[in-house]
Structure 1
Amino acid sequence: MKIAVARETAAGERRVALTPDQVARLVKKGWEIYIEAGAGEASLISDQAYEEVGGTIAGDRPALWQNADIVVKVAVPTPEEIETLPEGAMVASLLNPLGQPEVIQQLTAKKITALGMELIPRTSRAQSMDVLSSQAGVAGYKAVLLAAATLPKFFPMLTTAAGTIRPAKVFVIGAGVAGLQAIATARRLGAVVEAFDIRPAVKEEVQSLGAKFVEVQLEEETATAGGYAKEVSEDSKKKSQALISDHVATADVVITTAQVPGRKAPILVTDDMIARMQPGSVIIDLAGEQGGNCEGCEAGRDVLVHGVTIIAPINLPSTVAIHASQMFAKNMATLLQLLIPENEINLDFEDDILDSVCVTHQGTIRNQRVKDALQQMTVTV
C-alpha cells in the first residue's frame, strides 16, 4: 500500500496531512509512506524526521502521485493539483464541496475517487476522524488570543495598588466546537463570558465551562440529526438578533462562529449593534470566509467600524500549524485504517463513514447535497 503525503501549495496553508508519529504507525502496518520533499517544513517538521520513522522522501510530484494508491493532503486540491492526479486516482483531503463545486466537477471529469474529510459523520464511532471538530477547536482557541492581543484592556480582573481592573466581558455567538473552545480559553484568561446558541441542548455544556447561557425560545427545530446547528427561518433570525443585541452592546469582545455549509453565513451582528459597542471593542468573525456573521466584516482583513475592530481571519488552524497538523494527521490516519483494513483499499459504501466521505467515484458524484449544489449553479449561470 503506497500513501503519498502532499506538500501544500495553497496560500497560507502551513499544515501537513500526516505527521511523523502517524507515519510511524502506518509504516508498522507494512504500508509505504512517501512524503513530498518539504511537506512538513511549514509545520516545523523536517524531511529527516519522516525518514527516521520509516517514511520515504520524494521530490518528483508527478511521479509520486502517479504511483500512489492514495494521495493525502489538507487543503482543497487546486485545478493544477487535480491535473497532476492520474485518471481514476484516489485523494483524501478537505474538499469544500458545497463552496467550491467547480472542484468537484473537475474531480468527477477525471474519475477521481475523492474523500472529503469535512464530511465525516458526527457519531461516536467517527469522533477520532472528525476533522471539522479538531480544527474548529484550534480556531476557537486562536480567536480568543487574537481578541486578547487586539483589545486595549486586560482580560482578567486585576487588583493593584493603582486600583482594581474589571475583567473583560466576552460574548460568544455559537456554541459548537469552536465556540466552546473559545469559551474555555476566554475563561482561562480570566474574562467574564456569555454565550448564545439557537440550540437549547448546548446550555449545559456552556454552563459547565463557567459561562452564562443566553437562551432564545424558537418554535422550530434548530439542530440537524448530527447535532449541528441548522439554518432557521427569517423570523427566528430576527428574534435571535433582538435577543443578542444588548449582549453585543455591552461586550468588550464578541466572537461569532455560525456557519452553514455551502451557504452564506447568517448575519447575527448588525451595523446598529456595532454602533452601540464601546470604542476599542473587538469582534472576531470566524465565518468571514462565508461572508461573515457580522455586517462590515471583510475576510482576511481587520477593519474599523464605529470604533470597533472587526477581524475576519482566514484559516486560523493553519496559524497553529504544529498542533493543528498533529490533530489533522490523527484524523487522517484513523480514516485510512478504516479504508484499508487488510492492506488493500476497501471502499465499502455499506459503512456509514466511508459512504459519507466519498464525494466522487468512477466519474459520478455520490453526495446528493453536492449534486443539488451543482445543479443550482448551472441554473444560476
Structure 2
Amino acid sequence: MRAELTVAVLRETAPGERRVALVPEGVRALTDAGARVLVENAAGELAHHPDSSYTEAGAEVVPRETALAQAGILLVLHCPLPTGLRKGQVLIGLLAGADLPALAERGVTAIGLEGLPRKLSRAQSMDALSSQDNVAGYKAVLVAAQVYPRYLPMLITAAGTAPPARVLVLGVGVAGLQAIGTARRLGAVVTAYDIRPETAEEVRSLGASFLELATAIAGSGQGGYARALTAEEEQAQRHELDAHIARHDIVITTARVPGRKPPLLVTEQAVKAMVSGSVVVDLAAGPLGGNVELSEPGVTRVTENGVTVIGAEGLAATVPSAASAAYSRNLLALLRHLLHEGEPRIDLTDEIQAGVVRTHDGRETGA
C-alpha cells in the first residue's frame, strides 16, 4: 500500500446512529500498511472511541471538510449527501437509499456492502449485513427481556416455581439464529420457524424446537435468503401461525427479503390473542414495512390487551462498540480485496466487485 493513499472515516449523522465505520484497531492496520488515515472530529465518540484513541493509533483527526477534500477513499456506515464528494473518490458503506444517480453524476465510485454475494466463502469476512444482524439479534432478546414482566429462565425458589418464558423466533437468518442462541442462554424455551426447511437443523443444533406447519411452504431463495411468497402462500402461513403465536410470551421477527417489503407474519388478530404482558419485537420494521402488522419503526406501543409491540429499527446502533468493531473488520477485508499496489482497482468481472460496486465511471453499474 503506497503512502499517498488517504483513507477518511466520516462521522455518522443519521438520527440515533452511534456506530463508526472504522475503530482504532482498524486504523492501525491501515497505517501499518502505509496508508494515511483521516478521522473526522468526534467520529467514534458515541461508540466509545474518543479522538485521542485514533491519534494514538496513527490517524489524523480533522474537520469534515478536510476529510472530504483530501481522502481518496471514504468509509461510512450510511451514505452522506453527495455535497462535498468529488470525482474519483471511492465511497464505501451501506448504501441502501443512497442517491445513486447523483453519486454517478459526480464521478464517485460508490461501493455498497449490502450487495455482497454472501454465499461466497471468500466474501464472508466482508459481510457487513451479517455482522450487524448478529448484533441486532442479540440485542432483540435483551430488549424483549427488559419489558417482559416475568422471568426468562425457570426459577425454583422458596416462594414457588416460576416457569420459563416461551419465545418464538420467526425467521432463521443470522439475526434469528443469534436471537435463538441468546434466548436459550438466558434460560427461555425457544421455538423457531422459517419457510426454508434447511434451517430446521440449525435451529435444533442451538437447542431450540423447529415449528412445523401443516401448510408446509418451501421458500428457499437466491443467495441464502428466503424467497418472496405469493399472496396465497402468505395468507396460508399467517392463518396457521396465528394460533402458535398466541401460545408464546415473546415473539421476535427477523424475516426480510432484500429490496422488498418484509412479509407480514404477525397480524393484529394474532397480537390480540396473546396474553397480557407478552412482547413482540419486530427486527424487520423499517421504511418498507415490517413483519408485524402493528409495528412502526422506532416506536414501542402497548395494545389494549397489554401486549408490548416494539418496532426495533436500527438495533445494531444501540450496541455501538461491538457493532463498530465488527463493521470495521468487514471494511478492512473488503479494502484488502479492492486494493492492488496501494490503489483501488475496480474490476466488474470480479464476482465480489460486481455485487458491491454501485456507481463507477460516471454511471450506475446495475449491481
Pairwise TM-score range, normalised by the shorter structure: over 0.9
Q: What is the RMSD computed on CA atoms of the aligned residues? A: 1.4
Matched, 1:350 2:349: yes
Q: Supply the AA of the counterpart residue of 2:133.
A: A
Equivalent residue for 2:223?
226
Matched, 1:83 2:90: no
- The equivalent position to 1:106 in structure 2, one of 97, 102, 107, is 102
Equivalent residue for 2:297?
299
Matched, 1:38 2:37: no
Q: Is the 8 A contact 2:197 2:218 kept in 1?
A: no
Q: CA deviation at 1:219?
A: 7.7
Matched, 1:280 2:284: no
Tell me, in whole angstroms, the C-alpha distance in 2 between the residues paired with 1:349 and 1:10: 30
Q: CA deviation at 1:218?
A: 6.7
Tell me, in whole angstroms, the C-alpha distance in 2 between the residues paired with 1:260 and 1:205: 20
Q: CA deviation at 1:353?
A: 0.8
- The equivalent position to 2:116 in structure 1, one of 114, 120, 128, is 120
Partner-residue secondary structure (3-state), 2:222: coil
Q: Is the 8 A contact 2:8 2:73 kept in 1?
A: yes
- The equivalent position to 1:194 in structure 2, one of 191, 195, 206, is 191
Q: TM-score, normalised by structure 1?
A: 0.91
Equivalent residue for 1:71?
74
1:1-36 deviation per Cα after TM superposition (whole angstroms, max 9, x unaligned): 110111111111111111111111111111111111
- 1:24-63 alignment runs, 5 A limit: 24-59=28-63, 61-63=64-66
Tell me, in whole angstroms, the C-alpha distance in 1 between the residues paired with 2:260 and 2:202: 27
Q: TM-score, normalised by structure 2?
A: 0.95
Tell me, in whole angstroms, the C-alpha distance in 1 between the residues paired with 2:124 and 2:270: 37
Tell me, in whole angstroms, the C-alpha distance in 2 between the residues paired with 1:270 and 1:323: 33
Q: Is the 8 A contact 1:198 1:216 kept in 2?
A: no
Q: CA deviation at 1:271?
A: 1.1
Q: CA deviation at 1:280?
A: 1.0
Unmatched tracts of structure 1, length 5 or more: 369-381
- 1:323-342 alignment runs, 5 A limit: 323-342=322-341
Q: CA deviation at 1:350?
A: 2.1
Q: CA deviation at 1:215?
A: 2.7
Equivalent residue for 1:163?
160
Equivalent residue for 1:7?
11
- 1:207-226 alignment runs, 5 A limit: 207-216=204-213, 222-226=219-223
1:277-296 deviation per Cα after TM superposition (whole angstroms, max 9, x unaligned): 00110000011113111111
Q: Supply the AA of the counterpart residue of 2:136.
A: A
4+ residue stretches of structure 1 with deviation over 3 A? Answer: 216-221
Equivalent residue for 2:237?
240
Q: Is the 8 A contact 1:15 1:322 kept in 2?
A: yes
Q: CA deviation at 1:52?
A: 1.3
1:225-272 deviation per Cα after TM superposition (whole angstroms, max 9, x unaligned): 311111111122122212322220011000001112222221111111
- The equivalent position to 1:267 in structure 2, one of 264, 268, 271, is 264
Q: Is the 8 A contact 1:150 1:282 kept in 2?
A: yes
Q: Supply the AA of the counterpart residue of 1:110.
A: R
Q: Which has the higher helix share?
A: 1
Q: Is the 8 A contact 2:86 2:107 kept in 1?
A: no
Q: Supply the AA of the counterpart residue of 2:111.
A: L
The answer to which of 344-353 and 173-182 deviates more is 344-353
Identity of aligned residues (%): 45
